[in-house]
Each structure stands twice: as structure tokens, then as C-alpha cells.
């Protein structure tokens, strides 16, 4: 970690003046649709797309439908939430192959494309208000829909859709520059305010870079990273934006903690990262490195970033809230870091966030999510008030009122994005890489030979993965397999192959033919991880194991949604509870726990009833120093209420001190 970095006496405006040279990435993503979900991932995605909130989101929030693109009514909720939803849903529909979901997604996409103007404009803003993103948030709204269209292009191969996105993007790019800043308000705008409400520009608009990155990958056109560099420099030098954590001047100093809106911080991570590779100049490399070093300080035990709207330098306490949007955007940025840097630690971080924080903030039937959740969660109530943010975020809902149901739309994206990122092409050796695990099937061409690899496993509920090959004809290539840091002893069984080892990976090379298999066995020893408050969390593999607490879902306003079967709930404990008496003994073998398979567990819906649990013996000090109690822990993702942190035996109050960044200097608006 760089402790400090002196960028210079002023911000270097490199974007409009010169451009760098690209740096090679470690892995190339495969087109969307190359990786199909199987097993529990397919079952969950299919249920979500047909019966769950994902399949009914537009019925729950009719204003977010494609009507906004057709009428160009400027609806900001349609731009963000409708856009995020269709981006996730179009992937869900094709990845599961469900005809009803495909029809629904296709109708939306066709409406958006059909509403394109003759000049190529795709968006939901009336002509006289276009290309003033600093006032309307237009770049943000365009970016979400364009991602959905690009996914649709890769899923269907319809070249017309790519052409339409290229045309619309080039049009937008042509409208901004030194004379029309996306992020600096004019003096008059600053005086009157955006929408008369505040004077801040929507920092989400920086995420137009997501579109530029994808189009650069597809076309190699340098105009895209050049415009991305312009956007980032313009954003970085603005005092008018609503969030500043990822500005170059904030990232140039490791003493500035993440402080502003969490979703912004974690989605913005991808911007300097993309530029560090596509542009290659030093300020971007420094910014990317420091940004990912900073976010690590705020990763809560379930793997998401601390964010009860703001990061606010929050410590990653077990009961620290995180937002669903933050989890999705963090996972997406970590997937991008894994792809570009080739550092496998980012794969470990993705799995932690997706299997714990994300699964632990939704109901197994896919009908509700929590806007805010936490690893330790003794109750989840609508009335739970968060300083600066207010209430209404902890209940379970298919579409929260706060944030315009942002989290519901983002919850639709997380598993489709995860699925797409599981497999990538290795730039180094031209082979395939299994970078994130789970039941799946990848289809691609290697040296012109069609290859399918089925990944047979119930991971993360199994320590064994079997890769089964189908090839049109024998073809030699390396298969790279990520070895998570937590894996312990790892055994690869692949008859007739050469196996080599590097940091975090094993590479298995062979002339593959149909019927060949590679079996991977991870030991996955039980881990005890010290939390910042001195408690200990218990994990095994990517899963955080917690003490589930008996609870009931109590329906709130039953008239709220007109769609049958969709309600909001408080989750209340059946009995009052505290864990203060329970102690983990770190000197015990495996912290006193061992894995047990639950024969009643569900392979299809493991988050409803986990097929695995940890059974162990803990001290219960409230009953005397020598009293031992048998305790069963289950994956965080399979619980509604839970306790993730336990006292450590012998009790050590040294750890109970408040968190503050060393030499913390909180940035204020307008750092120079």
C-alpha cells in the first residue's frame, strides 16, 4: 500500500492534451452468454426472472418502464433504475433461456431502440434539454441502458444493436468538451441550482466510462479511452459534484478515507482502473492502486463495503450496514480488477461479497431484498433509523421507496454479472481461465476449435469441482484455475496433463478431447478471523458462518403493491437474544468446529436451507468458565437474522477501541 503520493502542486490535466499507451490486461472477458449458469445458480436465476422481484420489477414500478424512452419524459428513476434493471434482466432472460423473460426483455429493448432519433440519439431526455448532463444526469441514464443494449447485442449477435450504440455514443461524445463540461456548472447554473434543489452534479455520470470500456474492447477505437480520460479529468477537477472519493486529488493522498456516498465510491473504482490499462499514464495507475487499497479498509465481514449511504470512514464492524447497490457495484469493480490485474485476491473478494453480503440481504424466494443489511443483524425493521440517512432501509421489500428502489434494480444484476465473469480468456497463454467458481458451462473457440467445459460442483457448498471437456477435435491449451487464498491443500487430478503453479493459480495443460476431466479438491480449513471490534468471525471457503437466529417475517402495509404476492416485511426475532456469553477458543483445532452436511439441505435452493453447516463447541461464560455448549453455524447467505462475531477466549479488551484512520484528515468539499 502506498502511504502517500505527491501528485504535484496542481492537478495535471492530461486528458485533453496527450494520451498514454495502453498496458496489456491479464484476462479478456468472454462475450455475454458464453458462460451459462447451472445448478443452484440457474435455479435461483430462473426463479428470480419468473416469480421473483426481477421478473415483476416494472409492474411494481410502472414509471420505470420503456415508456420513458418512448415519450422522452426525462424520468430519472426510469433512467437509473429502469436502466439497471434491464441490464440485469436481459442477461437473466438469455442465461436462463426462459421464453417469458426473454419476451419481456426483448420488448423493452425494442422499445428503446425504436425510440432512437434520426441523429442516433438514444435516451429519455427531450431535445431542448439534451447534452447538459451536469443538470439532468443524462450520461448516467444513457450509460445504464447502453450496457443493456450491448449485453443484448452479445447475447443475440444482432449487429444493428451494436451499430446503434456506437452511433448514440459517438453523438454524445461529440457534444461534450472544454466548451460543454459534464461536471462543472456554469456560474448561472451554480446560482440557480440543479432542479432548484441543490447545486450538485450527479457523480454517477462518470459511469458512462462503463460503456466506453466495452465499446473500446469491441472496436479498438482509441476515441473511447480518450473520452474516458476527458470525463475522469473533468470529474476530478470539479467542485460541483456530489461525491469526491475517486477524484484524482482525493486518491493522491492515502490519508483521505472514503467518506462520501458508498455506491459512487465502489462503482468509480472501475474508472481509474480502466484508464490505468487503456491509457496507461501514471496518475491513473496511482489512482487505481490507491483506490483499491482504500476500499479494503471498509470491507465488512460479509464482503461488501461499509455504506449506510455514506462510507464516512466507517470501520468494518460486524453490525455495520452495507447497501445492496454497493454490493453489486463493488463486485462488478472487483471482477474488473481480477480481469485486468490478474491478481486472484480480487476473485476471493468477489466470492465473499456475492455469496455472503448479497445472498444475506435477500429472501430465498427472490421476492424481497433489504436496502441495508449487515453481517450481525439482530432485527431488520422499517423503523430502524440511520444517522444522516433515516429509516425505511432495513425492512425487506420488493421495491423500497427510498432511493427509488435502486437496490432492487441492482440486485437483479449481481448474479448475471458474476456468471459472465466466472470464465475468461487468458491473454498470456491464449487458454481459458476459471476465475470464479460455481456450477456453470462455458462455450468458446480456442484456436478455431469449439470447446465447452462444464463446471460440475455445488460450490460454495462443495470443496470439489470437476471440469468436463467437450471439444470438436483435440486441441492443446492451458486451463488456468484460481486457487483461493483460503483453499489450504489443493489437489488437481488431470491424467496425462502438465500442471504448473504460480501465485494464486494452477495451470493445467493438455491436448484436450471430449470426455477429459480435471478434478480440483480444496481442503478449505475452518478459519477464525479477528474483526476490528475484537470479536472473531468463523469462515470456511468463501462462506462466512454465522449463528442464525429464529425470526419471523411480519407483513407491513398489505395494500402497497398491486402485484399479487409481493409484500414488505419487518423481520423480528422470536426471542430476545444476545451472544455476549459465547466464546470461540482459538487454541482448539479448527477453532472447535467441523463441517457437517445437512441431509435436509436443498441443493436447488441452498440459501433457503443450507446443505452444509459447521458444528462446534464454544465456551458459554454466562454459565461458568468451564461450561461448553454445542453450537451450529450456517452460511450468512442462508439467514435472515444472525450473529457473525463471537468473543475470543480468553477475553481481551485490548481490541475494544474505536476505529479511526491513522492521522485521519477528513476531506471537505473543494479540496485543492
Binding residues for Zn ion, rule: CB under 5 A, are 325, 403, 406-407
In whole angstroms, how close is the CB of 651 to Zn ion at the nearest point? Answer: 38
CB of 400 to Zn ion, least distance (A): 8
Question: Omega before 410 cis (within 30°)?
Answer: no
Nearest CB to Zn ion, comparing residues 173 and 407: 407
Q: CA 530, CA 321: separation in Å to the nearest integer?
A: 19
| Coil, strand or helix at 615 | strand
Distance in angstroms (rounded) separating the CA atoms of residues 138 and 124: 8
Q: Which is nearer to Zn ion, 30 or 299 (CB)?
A: 299
Nearest to 96 by CA among 458, 409, 415, 410: 415
Residues 6+ apart with CB under 8 A from 62: none
Grid coordinates representing 503? 501465485
Residue 409 CB, shortest distance to Zn ion, in Å, is 8
Minimum distance of Zn ion from residue 114's CB (angstroms): 30
Cβ 237 to Zn ion, closest distance in Å?
A: 28
Shortest reach from residue 138's CB to Zn ion, in Å: 20
| Between 37 and 310, CB nearer to Zn ion | 310
The DSSP bridge partners found for residue 456 are 466
* DSSP element (H, E) containing 571: strand 569-573
Q: Please, what's the largest Cα pairwise distance for the chain?
A: 79
Q: Which three cell numbers stand for residue 74?
A: 426525462
Which lies closer to Zn ion via its Cβ, residue 109 or residue 407?
Answer: 407
324 or 512: CB nearest Zn ion: 324
- When the beta carbons of 32 and 412 are compared against Zn ion, the nearer one is 412
d(CA 261, CA 283): 23
Shortest reach from residue 235's CB to Zn ion, in Å:
21
The Cα–Cα gap between 13 and 44 comes to 47
Q: Prior bond to 650 cis, omega within 30?
A: yes
Which class for 550: exposed (0-12), middle (13-18), buried (19 or more C-beta within 10 A)? exposed
Q: For the purposes of burial, counting CB atoms within 10 Å of the CB of 31, is it exposed (0-12), middle (13-18) or buried (19 or more)?
A: middle
307 or 376: whose CB is closer to Zn ion? 307
Please, what is the minimum distance in Å from the beta carbon of residue 323 to Zn ion? 5
The distance of closest approach from Cβ of residue 328 to Zn ion in the complex, given in angstroms and rounded to an integer, is 9
Nearer to Zn ion, 233 or 329 (CB): 329
Q: How many CA atoms lie within 13 A of 333 on its CB side?
A: 28
Radius of gyration of the chain (CA): 24
Cβ-proximal residue to Zn ion, closest one: 325
Here the cell at position 44 is: 435461483
| Tally of residues, the chain | 672
Give the residue with the Cβ less far from Zn ion, 406 or 432: 406
Q: Residue 201 or 325: which CB sits closer to Zn ion? A: 325
Contact 219, 284 (CB under 8 A): no
| Nearer Cβ to Zn ion (275/325) | 325
Q: Least distance from C-beta 394 to Zn ion, angstroms?
A: 13
Residue 594 buriedness (CB in 10 A; 0-12 / 13-18 / 19+): middle
Look up cell 463495503; give the residue.
305
Q: Least distance (Å) from Zn ion to the CB of residue 58? A: 17
Angle in degrees, CA 667, 331, 413, rounded to 5? 120
Amino acid at each position: 500500500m502506498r502511504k502517500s503520493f505527491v501528485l504535484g502542486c496542481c492537478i495535471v490535466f492530461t486528458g485533453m492534451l496527450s494520451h498514454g499507451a495502453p498496458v496489456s490486461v491479464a484476462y479478456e472477458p468472454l462475450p455475454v452468454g458464453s458462460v451459462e449458469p447451472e445448478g443452484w445458480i440457474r435455479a435461483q436465476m430462473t426463479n428470480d426472472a419468473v416469480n421473483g422481484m426481477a421478473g415483476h420489477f416494472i409492474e411494481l414500478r410502472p414509471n420505470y418502464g420503456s415508456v420513458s424512452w418512448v415519450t422522452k419524459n426525462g424520468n430519472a428513476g426510469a433512467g437509473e433504475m429502469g436502466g439497471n434493471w434491464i441490464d440485469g434482466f436481459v442477461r437473466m432472460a438469455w442465461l436462463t433461456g426462459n421464453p417469458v423473460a426473454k419476451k419481456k426483455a426483448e420488448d423493452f429493448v425494442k422499445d428503446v431502440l425504436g425510440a432512437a432519433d434520426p441523429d442516433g440519439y438514444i435516451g429519455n431526455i427531450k431535445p431542448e434539454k439534451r447534452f447538459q448532463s451536469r443538470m439532468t444526469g443524462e450520461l448516467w441514464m444513457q450509460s445504464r441502458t447502453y450496457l443493456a443494449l450491448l449485453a443484448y447485442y452479445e447475447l443475440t449477435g444482432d449487429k444493428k444493436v451494436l451499430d446503434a450504440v456506437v452511433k448514440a455514443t459517438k453523438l454524445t461524445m461529440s457534444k461534450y468538451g472544454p466548451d460543454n463540461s459534464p461536471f462543472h456548472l456554469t456560474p448561472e447554473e451554480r446560482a440557480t441550482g440543479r432542479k432548484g434543489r441543490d447545486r450538485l452534479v450527479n457523480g454517477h455520470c462518470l459511469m458512462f466510462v462503463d460503456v466506453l470500456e466495452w465499446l473500446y474492447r469491441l472496436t479498438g477505437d482509441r476515441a473511447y479511452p480518450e473520452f474516458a480520460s476527458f470525463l475522469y479529468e473533468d470529474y476530478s477537477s470539479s467542485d460541483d459534484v456530489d461525491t469526491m472519493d475517486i477524484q484524482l486529488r482525493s486518491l493522491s493522498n492515502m490519508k483521505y478515507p472514503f467518506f462520501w456516498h458508498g455506491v459512487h465510491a465502489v462503482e468509480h473504482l472501475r474508472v481509474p482502473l480502466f484508464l490505468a490499462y487503456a491509457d496507461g499514464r501514471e496518475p491513473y495507475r496511482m489512482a487505481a492502486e490507491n483506490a483499491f487499497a482504500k476500499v479494503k479498509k471498509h470491507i465488512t465481514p460479509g464482503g461488501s463495503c461499509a455504506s449506510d449511504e455514506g462510507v464516512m470512514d466507517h470501520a468494518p464492524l460486524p453490525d455495520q450496514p452495507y447497501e445492496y447497490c454497493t454490493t453489486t457495484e463493488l463486485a462488478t469493480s472487483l471482477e474488473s480488477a481480477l480481469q485486468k490485474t490478474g491478481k486472484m485476491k480480487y476473485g476471493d473478494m468477489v466470492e465473499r461479497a456475492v455469496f455472503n453480503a448479497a445472498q444475506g440481504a435477500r429472501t430465498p424466494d427472490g421476492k424481497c431484498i433489504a436496502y441495508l443489511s449487515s453481517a450481525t443483524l439482530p432485527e431488520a425493521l422499517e423503523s430502524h433509523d440511520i444517522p444522516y440517512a433515516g429509516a425505511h432501509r432495513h425492512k425487506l421489500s420488493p421495491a423500497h421507496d427510498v432511493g427509488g428502489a435502486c437496490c432492487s434494480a441492482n440486485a437483479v444484476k449481481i448474479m448475471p454479472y458474476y456468471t459472465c465473469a466466472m470464465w475468461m480468456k487468458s491473454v498470456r497463454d491464449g487458454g481459458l481461465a476459471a476465475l470464479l467458481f460455481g456450477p456453470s458451462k462455458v462455450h468458446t473457440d480456442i484456436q478455431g476449435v469449439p470447446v465447452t467445459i462444464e463446471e460440475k460442483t455445488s460450490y460454495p457448498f462443495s470443496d470439489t469441482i470437476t471440469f468436463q471437456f467437450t471439444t470438436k477435435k483435440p486441441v492443446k491449451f492451458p486451463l488456468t484455475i484460481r486457487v483461493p487464498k483460503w483453499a489450504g491443500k489443493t489437489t488437481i487430478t488431470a491424467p496425462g496433463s502438465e500442471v504448473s503453479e504460480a501465485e494464486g493459480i494452477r495451470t493445467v495443460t493438455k491436448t484436450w478431447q471430449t470426455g477429459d476431466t480435471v478434478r480440483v479438491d480444496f481442503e478449505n480449513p475452518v478459519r477464525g478471523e479477528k474483526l476490528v471490534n475484537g470479536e472473531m468471525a468463523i469462515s470456511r471457503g468463501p462462506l462466512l458462518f454465522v449463528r442464525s437466529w429464529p425470526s419471523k417475517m411480519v407483513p407491513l402495509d398489505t395494500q402497497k403493491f398491486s402485484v399479487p404476492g409481493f409484500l414488505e416485511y419487518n423481520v423480528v426475532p422470536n426471542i430476545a437474544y444476545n451472544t455476549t456469553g459465547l466464546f470461540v477458543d482459538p487454541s482448539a483445532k479448527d477453532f472447535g468446529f467441523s463441517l457437517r452436511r445437512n441431509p435436509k439441505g436443498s441443493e436447488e435452493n441452498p440459501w433457503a436451507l443450507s446443505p452444509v453447516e459447521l458444528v462446534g463447541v464454544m465456551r458459554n461464560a454466562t454459565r461458568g468458565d468451564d461450561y461448553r455448549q454445542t453450537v451450529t453455524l450456517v452460511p450468512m447467505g442462508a439467514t435472515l437474522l444472525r450473529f457473525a462475531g463471537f468473543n475470543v477466549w480468553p477475553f481481551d479488551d485490548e481490541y475494544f477501541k474505536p476505529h479511526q484512520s491513522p492521522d485521519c484528515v477528513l476531506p471537505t468539499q473543494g479540496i485543492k
